[in-house]
């Protein structure tokens, strides 16, 4: 254990101030913004980001922040993800449009939940001085897994 206890206090004015400051700096000050707003001006990137942050906040906030538990919710999220994968694997050309849209939600919900809780569990399990290093390692492995998944799918389908 890291020996640190993190307490999250939801303070809308402070959060709003930091969001406003971020938007101002990104839009008006930064020559090379981290988040170029021209990207978010397009419909698809905007809604993908909106859904992603919404799912992450809801998944994390509802269960983990209230209970402080990681294991059981992660197991449930894993089962939900697995069910989503099974649903997606059973899609075919004759599947309904609604099924094609709705079958991705269980997998997305489960994976988003697990990504957030495992990240918090990882940070809590190492000394404070190692948090930057394990964060980098975590994102390295996540990104490598995503790239491998996309590349192998492309290789199979081409």
Residue 6 has pLDDT above 80, yes or no: no
Least confident of 7-21, 59-73, 84-98: 59-73
Average pLDDT score over residue span 35-64: 70
Average pLDDT score over residue span 56-77: 68
∠ CA 77-91-151 to the nearest 5 degrees? 75
Cα-to-chain-centroid distance, residue 73: 15
Return the structure tokens found at 147. Answer: 């790239």
Q: What pLDDT score was predicted for residue 10?
A: 59
Average pLDDT score over residue span 70-77: 78
* Whole-model pTM over 0.85: no
Residue 8 has pLDDT above 60, yes or no: no
Give the whole-angstrom CA distance, residue 22 versus residue 39. 16
Give the whole-angstrom CA distance, residue 34 versus residue 121. 27
Per-residue pLDDT reduced to its tens digit, 103-120: 888 888 888 777 777 787
Which residues does 55 contact at the CB level (< 8 Å), separation at least 6? Answer: 108, 109, 112
pLDDT classification of 18: cutoffs 50, 70, 90: confident
């Amino acid at each position: 254990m890291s020996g640190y206890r993190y307490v999250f206090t939801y303070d809308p004015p402070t959060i709003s101030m930091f969001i406003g400051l971020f938007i101002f700096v990104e839009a008006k000050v930064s020559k090379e913004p981290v988040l170029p707003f021209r990207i978010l001006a397009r419909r698809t990137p905007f809604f993908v980001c909106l859904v992603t942050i919404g799912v992450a906040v809801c998944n994390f906030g509802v269960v983990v922040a209230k209970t402080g538990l990681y294991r059981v919710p992660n197991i449930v999220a894993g089962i939900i993800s697995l069910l989503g994968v099974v649903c997606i694997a059973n899609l075919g050309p004759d599947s309904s449009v609604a099924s094609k849209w709705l079958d991705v939600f269980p997998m997305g919900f489960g994976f988003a939940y697990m990504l957030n809780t495992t990240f918090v569990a990882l940070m809590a399990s190492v000394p404070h001085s190692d948090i930057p290093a394990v964060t980098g390692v975590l994102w390295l492995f996540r990104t490598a897994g995503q790239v491998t998944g996309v590349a192998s799918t492309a290789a199979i389908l081409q």
